[in-house]
Amino acid sequence: MARVNIVFLDPLGKPTTDHIAGFPCIKVHVGYYGGGNGGISEWVWGLLDTGVARIRMDPSLCERFGEKLEGTFSGVLIRDASRYLARVCVDVGRNRALNVDAEVLSLARDYERVPTRVILGRAFLSRAQFVWDGVAQRYHLTFPEVDVAGAG
């Protein structure tokens, strides 16, 4: 079974055992491709949030790498009339990965105290199952479609 551990983070981004005030996150590999300058990527924490429809990546994550983002259209950053492309990848082990498109979009003020710049909404969570492992006292996400298809 393809399984990823959920880690709860405090507002400073450090792991915590507080499942009430902590933020449920998983480690994801984000990739950003835009402006004809190749791409950037890195491993970051992604917040699991059922209150968000899609997957969002804060522009500051891209701008950190020296990529200047210009203009907005309906809240989605654009350049030369095309959207920036972002991908979120979850490593599910056994050389398998689940890749999902993401929006490069400014995050609402609600996320100011959240220790991550990637929000994994329902478009992502609909592909996973939430599991409580009572023996290990841990939460996990499992990805059935990866098991069936062999890759995402």
Residue 137: helix, strand or coil by DSSP?
coil
Q: Check residue 76 and give its pLDDT.
A: 44
CA 27 to chain centroid, in Å, comes to 8
* Comparison of pLDDT for 44 and 106, the residue scoring more: 44
Q: Collapsing DSSP states into helix, strand and coil, what is residue 12?
A: coil
Which tokens go with 36?
Answer: 């004809």
Hey, where are the domains in the chain? 3-149
Which residue has better confidence, 80 or 145?
145
- What pLDDT was estimated at residue 10? 94
How confident is the model at residue 97, as a pLDDT?
66
pLDDT over 60 at 82, yes or no: no
On whether the pTM is more than 0.85, the answer is no
More confident residue, 22 or 43: 22
Give the burial string for 85-124 (b: 16+ CB within 10 Å, else e): ebbbbbbbeeebbbebebbbbebeeebeebbbbbbbbebb
Q: Collect all residues with Cβ–Cβ distance below 8 Å to 135 and sequence separation of at least 6.
A: none
What pairing do the DSSP bridges indicate for beta strands 39-48 and 118-120? parallel
Contacts of 4 (CB under 8 A, 6+ apart): 26, 27, 90, 91, 92, 140, 141, 142, 143
Instruction: Tokens for 85, please give them.
Output: 């492309």
CATH class of 3-149: mainly beta
pLDDT greater than 70 at residue 36: no
